Structure 1
Amino acid sequence: MNYEISASDKAALGKVAVLMGGTSAERPVSLNSGSAVLKALLEIGVDAFGIDVGENAAEQLSQAEFDRAFIALHGRGGEDGTMQGLLELLNKPYTGSGVMASALGMDKWRTKLVWDACNVATPKAFVLEKNSDWNSIMQALGGLAMVKPAREGSSIGMRKVHSSEGLADSYAFASQHDDLVIAEQYVEGKEFTVAILGDKALPAIQLITTHDFYDFDAKYKANDTQYLLPSGLPDYAEAELQKMSLKAFKLVDCTGWGRVDAMQDEDGNFWLLEVNTSPGMTDHSLVPMAAKAGGLSFPALVVNILQQTL
């Protein structure tokens, strides 16, 4: 590791609490992210320590002594505005988006409503309920849909469906994870993700999986998932995707860093799926991968994110 940080920069950052774990379904992923961030900070000599955030988060954080927080939490309780609100009350600077953007970004349905209103292309979707008209929804979505819990991450509870019976079953499955479930028109084509750092979109990554879609196993367990970087897009198309992703990120009022996921249909059109305000941060995660392609090592990325809180 050849990245170094000056004594004055270390002093400016002060004591850093890396928040990880949490109580959401993404706890194991968050522990990995937090451990990687903490290791990088300690290796370059930043005064940092980890907090495994539990049910008593308010008590844990109010008793801990730190100058700023690196939020490496994923999912509800960490990425949805509640942790951000707690840190605001404690008057502690923190990484990433603020309370409103975090809450909005965590809610895929309401994010889509904002994008739709601002003419950002996002696939058509419906909120599902116990008594939904499954046939008419499947018809309206073109016979192929993705069912999602609206406020979960890591593809938890998601299913691709081809029939109205499958839609009803998948609603029941997804509603175990969230009482707000959406069915989104499935876009046949290529999948991309664009990391955002500050006011800049990093190089896009194309995701290729042998699975039915880029699900939890494809993200965290499979050895055959491919990450194309360069993305394989012509320069003009990549520039269009980056511009669209940055606009969508700002429309949700996101700041600091994050990631926007997108599909490209068979006609070459881009469709935005969701925004991640606290993405994975292991050395195998997508944001560090894009940062590396943009010339930033993992420790440099972590420090860059932290310095945005100064």
Structure 2
Amino acid sequence: MSLQDPKQFGKVAVLFGGSSAEREISLLSGNGVLEALRSRGVDAHAFDPAERDLVELRREGFARCFIALHGRHGEDGTVQGALELLGIPYTGSGVMASSVAMDKVMTKRIWQADGLPTPKYVRLAFDQQSREQIRAVPDVLGLPLIVKPPREGSSIGVTKVEGYSQMQDAVALSAKYDADVLCEEFIEGEEVTCAVLGSGLDAHALPVVRIAAPEGAYDYQNKYFTDDVKYHCPSGLPEAEEHEIQRITLAAYHTLGCRGWGRADVMIRASDRKPFLLEMNTSPGMTSHSLVPMSARAAGIAYEDLCLRVLASASLDAAGGAQ
């Protein structure tokens, strides 16, 4: 679809806000997208699913949706399923890819099955969280390790555990957000992220962003509300490393069945420079601090044009991913 005539998109709903733990970030993302689309002449309107029923989208004649929701009930296949039933094309991955990518344990299982590198892990289901079971995790994964809810984003509920004595509190914090708890091998090294635009054979990886956080604390606060984190794009990595990260990111995207756009978080192990996939975001942030717009800029794509490209890719599963 051409990006020349904004009228071709019809009436567009930018879905943002929502009811997840990432609502605050979604509001920032959505307002950025809304302003960008309007600045390019798109008939775009704000729509917060936490305040309005999705059925109103059809009633009010919306032709497509830009999903700027993050986390549950936005990035996990539920909104995507509702829009499939309403017959309204939407941005990003379809129902299954969204649902799987939202669950870090399922994602890791699929990546492992396809031979893609991801850190070792232990899943503590809701009925596997006795003191003894929790205490045994470092014996399997070593220390330090990471404890996090498998179905949250934005570093919410995440703890870096340095010793056995921290395990109980770390699991308790994670369990506030998710009944299951994901314990993951800690990869000592550099954190990078790599975005993908497009679907099928047209999907391509954008330039890698290298993240330098104070004391390695790339947490919720530092991600969104401070300027202490430094982002490098171009990444400054050796060309072969950049290409390998782009290669495994694209493979991870295809393996999960993603489309439209996405962003993988990757750790590069310092000891041997091997990259490990952490997770795939199917509705990446679009705030002023966000990494996909930064990567797109390095590839010569302005923020407004990025929003138009993503909007142009809106489709339905029922249409076989084509629009």
For this structure pair, what is the TM-score category when the shorter chain's length is used for normalisation? over 0.9
Corresponding residue of 1:249: 253
Corresponding residue of 1:305: 310
Distance 1:276 1:221 in 2: 20
Question: TM-score under structure 1 normalisation?
Answer: 0.95
Distance 1:180 1:237 in 2: 34
Distance 2:141 2:53 in 1: 41
Distance 1:190 1:211 in 2: 12
Alignment check: 8 A CA contact 1:134 1:164 kept: no
Alignment of 1:210-221 (within 5 A): 210-221=214-225
Corresponding residue of 2:106: 110
Instruction: Read off the aligned partner of 2:302 and give its amino acid letter.
Output: S
Which residue, out of 207, 224, 228, partners 1:224? 228
Aligned-pair CA distance for 1:212 = 4.3
Corresponding residue of 1:287: 292
Secondary structure of residue in 2 paired with 1:255: coil
Alignment check: 8 A CA contact 1:283 1:298 kept: no
Q: Which runs of 5+ in 2 are unaligned?
A: 315-322
Q: Which runs of 5+ in 1 are unaligned?
A: none
Dislocated runs of 4+, deviation >4 Å? none
Corresponding residue of 2:172: 172
Structure 1, residues 78-129: CA drift from partner, whole Å, max 9, x if none?
A: 0000000000000000000000000001001110000011110100001123
Corresponding residue of 1:125: 121
Deviates more, 1:127-136 or 1:237-246: 127-136
Aligned-pair CA distance for 1:48 = 0.9
Corresponding residue of 1:258: 262
Deviates more, 1:204-213 or 1:140-149: 204-213
Corresponding residue of 2:318: none
Secondary structure of residue in 2 paired with 1:152: coil
Give the total of aligned pairs: 305
Corresponding residue of 2:86: 90
Secondary structure of residue in 2 paired with 1:76: coil
Instruction: Read off the aligned partner of 1:22 and give its amino acid letter.
Output: G
Instruction: Read off the aligned partner of 1:144 and give its amino acid letter.
Output: P
Aligned-pair CA distance for 1:164 = 2.2
Alignment of 1:1-310 (within 5 A): 6=4, 9-54=5-50, 56-128=52-124, 129-131=128-130, 133-198=133-198, 199-266=203-270, 267-309=272-314, 310=323
Instruction: Read off the aligned partner of 2:117 and give its amino acid letter.
Output: A
Alignment check: 8 A CA contact 2:77 2:97 kept: yes
Deviates more, 1:16-25 or 1:54-63: 54-63
Identity of aligned residues (%): 47
Aligned-pair CA distance for 1:284 = 2.5
Aligned-pair CA distance for 1:200 = 0.6
Alignment check: 8 A CA contact 1:18 1:50 kept: yes
Secondary structure of residue in 2 paired with 1:92: coil
Aligned-pair CA distance for 1:134 = 3.0
Aligned-pair CA distance for 1:56 = 5.0
Alignment check: 8 A CA contact 2:3 2:309 kept: no
Secondary structure of residue in 2 paired with 1:272: strand
> Please, what is the CA RMSD of the aligned residues?
1.5
Secondary structure of residue in 2 paired with 1:96: coil
Secondary structure of residue in 2 paired with 1:111: helix
Alignment check: 8 A CA contact 1:96 1:258 kept: yes
Secondary structure of residue in 2 paired with 1:154: coil
Alignment check: 8 A CA contact 1:23 1:55 kept: no
Deviates more, 1:208-217 or 1:145-154: 208-217
Structure 1, residues 26-56: CA drift from partner, whole Å, max 9, x if none?
A: 0010011110000011111111111012165
Instruction: Read off the aligned partner of 1:114 and give its amino acid letter.
Output: I
Distance 1:76 1:179 in 2: 14
Alignment check: 8 A CA contact 1:112 1:122 kept: yes
Secondary structure of residue in 2 paired with 1:53: coil
Instruction: Read off the aligned partner of 1:308 and give its amino acid letter.
Output: S
Aligned-pair CA distance for 1:63 = 3.3
Question: TM-score under structure 2 normalisation?
Answer: 0.91
